[in-house]
Structure 1
Amino acid sequence: MHVHQMRRLVPALSLFVAACATAPRTPEPASTSQSITPSREIRSNLIGMTASELVSHLGNPVLQVREGPGLKMQFRSRYCVLDAYLYPPESGTGLTRVSHSDARLPSGQDTDQAACISQIEATK
């Protein structure tokens, strides 16, 4: 091969190699029309729920205790205990609603409330 022919071949080869190389892929934009929705919403905050909403969400409580104007409802799974405290509005009239809730292990140690709610829902 002559030098002149080599000079023509090198650019042609470099174009061929460049064409064979894979181009970097750009991520496809996420479609805004599609949204992933879980089959069941996980609720980690019970604040504001009424007693009937709690029952429909968590099943029947294992314990209900009247404490003055308030009501304590207790729900359990094999792994945790959830207490929900319901009180009437400050006006004194209207439905009692959850104003505080807490979750603990059967041993009494605090635990993650969202995980406890999921476990109670699974056993409902």
Structure 2
Amino acid sequence: MTRIAAIISALALLTAGAAQADNKRTNANPIPLDRPAASTPAPRQAQSVRGLDAVMGKDMATLVRMFGQPRLDVVEVQGRKLQFSGRACILDAYLYPEGRNGQEIVIHVDARRSDGAEVDRAQCISALSAR
């Protein structure tokens, strides 16, 4: 019986603490409604790392010419992920509409082996280009 009383007391304390937290949140300064919300996210800076310039800022057609048809083409809400694979590595290229006239261009790349281990991105690009 004592155990049940302890559990009920603990639940009562938790409930009281949650109510105090809710009161603090509702008393916080509200965000003014006359301030317009950002309609689009701020443009991201394209990743610029030595050796990656073969793909950074390039469009899908250029990537297909370099690596062939992508293994995956995942269309996201605001961009696209293309995945290219070869014996040496798997390359994920992330394209977002930040080029001229909103053209999707590569702003980030990831590279890994088939077992998931990370590999040098520039070396992966070179290996996939050479095939």
Q: TM tier, shorter chain?
A: 0.5 to 0.7
Gaps of 5+ in 1: 1-42
* 1:90 Cα deviation from its structure 2 partner: 8.4
Distance 1:90 1:62 in 2: 24
SS in 1 for 2:102: coil
1:50 and 2:68 aligned = no
1:105 and 2:113 aligned = yes
Conservation of the 8 A alpha-carbon contact between 1:55 and 1:61: yes
1:79 and 2:88 aligned = yes
Letter in 2 for 1:113: R
Q: Cα RMSD (Å) of the superposition? A: 1.9
Which of these two proteins has the greater Rg computed from alpha carbons? 1
Aligned partner of 1:64 in structure 2 is: 73
The percentage of aligned residue pairs carrying the same residue is: 43
Conservation of the 8 A alpha-carbon contact between 1:47 and 1:99: yes
Runs of 4+ residues over 4 Å off in structure 1: none
Letter in 2 for 1:73: L
Measured against aligned partners, the alpha-carbon deviations of 1:2-59 in whole angstroms (never above 9, x if no partner) come to xxxxxxxxxxxxxxxxxxxxxxxxxxxxxxxxxxxxxxxxx53321001111111222
Distance 1:84 1:90 in 2: 15
Conservation of the 8 A alpha-carbon contact between 2:57 and 2:99: no
Number of aligned residues: 80
Gaps of 5+ in 2: 1-50
Measured against aligned partners, the alpha-carbon deviations of 1:75-107 in whole angstroms (never above 9, x if no partner) come to 00112100000000289x421000111111111
* 1:74 Cα deviation from its structure 2 partner: 0.3
Task: Report which of the two has the higher share of helix.
Answer: 2
Which one has more relative contact order, counting CA pairs under 8 Å at least 6 apart? 1
TM-score, length-normalised on structure 2?
A: 0.55
TM-score, length-normalised on structure 1?
A: 0.58
